[in-house]
Structure 1
């Protein structure tokens, strides 16, 4: 399986709520970095992903561009987080390092201002009558 396939499958499994299948694509020592958030390592990553699903937090991904250079995959995408009627959409640039068919580094960068702004809009939309 190519590095790009591993990354696409990881994100697609998460979007489908298939967290166990997604976790199977992570190295046991994986490092997950997010802008201005402490790194998660190894089992912490699987726990965080399982907690999202258990709490009913939905995830969608829209791929805009994906580029691969050997074992490094760069993604330009829109992530969507949801909970009930609330939705927040924001652009993410991800850098993934894949080794032996497993993600060893997952480094996402995004604008907190965009994420918070989208979250506020989502909150307003979720409480307004349809």
Structure 2
């Protein structure tokens, strides 16, 4: 890893690695004692617990996007306001997230995300309906005309 110029660049590079689902690259931006938390869930403490969560995301997901709306830093603390898009096959969910990152010596020591669970669940349900509709629509288009 070539060290980014600032905590903000560290966070941008980290999120970019996640968008590529490149867990190994993302881990190079994480400190050994990282704490990762989706509030109000319990935090993952340490690089092994963090890596386990990232690998599960990459294994079960087919895409991740962090659409940054705002990013600001105060010293080593970086705040992000973004829309995250999670995807798994035809399913996807989009939801607003506010994230806090603390960076020390070019590595993330804290990543804490805040979002509205009701919005995540509603977006997940909409994503499921869209995926089902696309699947059914695709099957109908592939059926021979005499069977319709």
TM-score, normalisation: structure 1: 0.96
Q: Hey, which of these two has a bigger chunk of strand by percent? A: 1
| Match of residue 43, structure 2, among 33, 39, 42 | 39
Q: Which runs of 5 or more structure 1 residues have no equivalent in the other structure?
A: none
Give the greater-gyration-radius structure (CA). 2
| Match of residue 118, structure 1, among 90, 113, 123 | 123
After TM superposition, where is structure 1 displaced by more than 6 Å over at least 4 residues in a row?
none
Compare 83-92 and 31-40 and name the one that shifted more: 31-40
Distance in 1, Cα, partners of 2:43 & 2:26: 18
* Counterpart residue number, 2:20: 16
| Match of residue 78, structure 2, among 65, 73, 82 | 73
* RMSD of aligned alpha carbons: 1.0
Distance in 1, Cα, partners of 2:61 & 2:11: 23
- Show the 5 A alignment for 1:20-99: 20-42=24-46, 43-99=48-104
Distance in 2, Cα, partners of 1:61 & 1:70: 22
Q: Which runs of 5 or more structure 2 residues have no equivalent in the other structure?
A: 139-148
Deviation at 1:56, TM superposition (A): 3.5
In the TM superposition, what whole-angstrom CA distance separates every residue of 1:34-63 from its partner, at most 9, and x where no partner exists? Answer: 122110011100111012112234211100
SS at match of 1:37: coil
SS at match of 2:43: strand
How many aligned residue pairs are there? 130
Higher relative contact order (CA 8 A, sep 6+): 1
Q: Hey, which of these two has a bigger chunk of helix by percent? A: 2
